[in-house]
Amino acid sequence: MSPERESHRRARTLLEALGAEESAWPDAERQSILSELAESDVLKVLRTQEQTLDEWLNQSSVTASLDAQAVALQISQSHAQKPALEVRLGTVLERVADLVAFGSWRSPVAASVTLSVGVALGTLVYVPSEDWSNAEQYSFTVIGEE
Amino acid sequence: MVSDESALVARVCQGDRRAYADLVARHLPAVEVYARRILGDEYLAQDVAQDVMLVLWQRSDRFKPEKSRLTTWLHRIAHNRCIDLLRKPGHKTLEDAYEPAAQPSNTQETPGAASIDAALCELPESQRTALVLTYYQNFTNREVALIMSSSVRAVESLLCRARGNLKKYLETDQ
């Protein structure tokens, strides 16, 4: 498709999708649509039709009825906030860090944590094995059964 | 405005009720009107709007200002709530909703406010959503695509079909 045809087709699509009002068109494409409109009678007729539809759409009378202040008050007073898991986890870790940093029992906790980590690492790393390569060999014979 | 709202949301995360009330005053009316146009029911729309504001209070830390405007995030939640309600048994099913726009009812004698609202309710749900978000809620096509989890091209296509159906309705109505 030639660039002119493509530009015309695009202007038509945007008119049909967004209506006749210039402010509804994308900023980047407004000038192109206006240029196409200036040269095309078909697009001018289309714009008039879209304008009629816009006027009809503007007659919609749906309005809000809730009292925003009352809703905000009711929700914020009767519901607790639920922060995300990572936020809650962060808060818990901060409290633990504070306790470890400033508590009077910091040393025992540090020692037990170190010991626990050591035991855990030892359990993971050490693999018990039996080496019988240098052991003496014995054989047993039951005497007197013949 | 956007950074202002980001600051307000940050205060809401800290439990600031005044910041929350400010945001509710700014966004509740738009969300309620949107839900009412999508659901066609005043009381269900009020439930959805309050539900969205509850999410704003309880889960505002999930809002990412670098990704979207607050109003886009709130409308996305409202959109999902509306879809859930439309899919509930007993409510208008999606199969019904995807039927072509119906002919005008006999009770609508002249085009007007009631007529256009009735015509909107008879559009398929996805066309109605795209049109309402673009025309009445003033979102860009890109934002509508984000709210509807769709592409910009798909949104443009929905808008063309929605307006085309409404034009047919208007012509028949007059």
Residue B141 contacts residue B155 (beta carbons within 8 Å) = yes
Residue A109 CA to residue B108 CA, distance in Å, equals: 78
Q: State the smallest CA–CA distance between residue B87 and chain A in angstroms.
A: 23
Structure-block tokens of residue B84: 């859930």
User: In terms of Cα–Cα distance, which of B135, B128, B20 is closest to B74?
Assistant: B20
Residue with the two structure tokens 């504070």: A98
Q: Which of B91, B115, B133 lies at the terminal end of a domain, its last residue?
A: B91
**110-149 of B, contacting A, C-beta below 8 A:** 111-117, 120, 134-136, 140-141
Per mean pLDDT, which range of A22-26, A72-76, B116-120 is the poorest? B116-120
- Is the pLDDT assigned to residue A143 strictly greater than 80? no
More confidently predicted of A30 and B116: A30
Range of the domain at B51: 1-91
End-to-end CA distance of chain A: 108
- Is the pLDDT assigned to residue A64 strictly greater than 60? yes
Q: Dihedrals φ, ψ of A143, to 5°?
A: -95, 140
ipTM over 0.90: no
CB atoms B57 and A81 under 8 Å: yes
User: In terms of Cα–Cα distance, which of B144, B137, B100, B91 is closest to B119?
Assistant: B100
The answer to the question of residue A7 being in a domain is yes
Nearest to A17 among B28, B58, B163 (CB): B163
Domain holding B102: CATH number?
1.10.10.10
CB atoms A62 and B164 under 8 Å: no
The count of domains in chain B is 2
Look up residue A58 and give its DSSP letter: T
The count of domains in chain A is 2
Taking only the tens place, the pLDDT of each residue in B122-162 is 899 999 999 999 999 999 999 999 999 999 999 999 999 99
Residue B170, chain A, CB below 8 Å: the answer is yes
Range of the domain at A108: 84-125
Residue B28 contacts residue B75 (beta carbons within 8 Å) = no
My answer on whether B104 and B83 are in the same domain is: no
**In B, which residues are within 8 Å of A52 by CB distance?**
170
For an interface test with A, the pick among B42, B50, B116, B168 (most A C-beta atoms closer than 10 Å) comes out as: B116
Q: What angle do CA B163, B132, B83 make, to 5 degrees?
A: 115
My answer on whether B101 and B59 are in the same domain is: no
**In A, which residues are within 8 Å of B115 by CB distance?**
59
My answer on whether A53 and A88 are in the same domain is: no
Residue of A nearest to B114 (CA): A60
My answer on whether B126 and B149 are in the same domain is: yes
The answer to the question of residue A132 being in a domain is no
Taking only the tens place, the pLDDT of each residue in B54-110 is 999 999 999 999 999 999 999 999 999 999 998 887 765 433 443 333 444 444 344
Query: How is chain B split among helix, strand and coil, in percent rounded to 5?
Result: 75, 0, 25
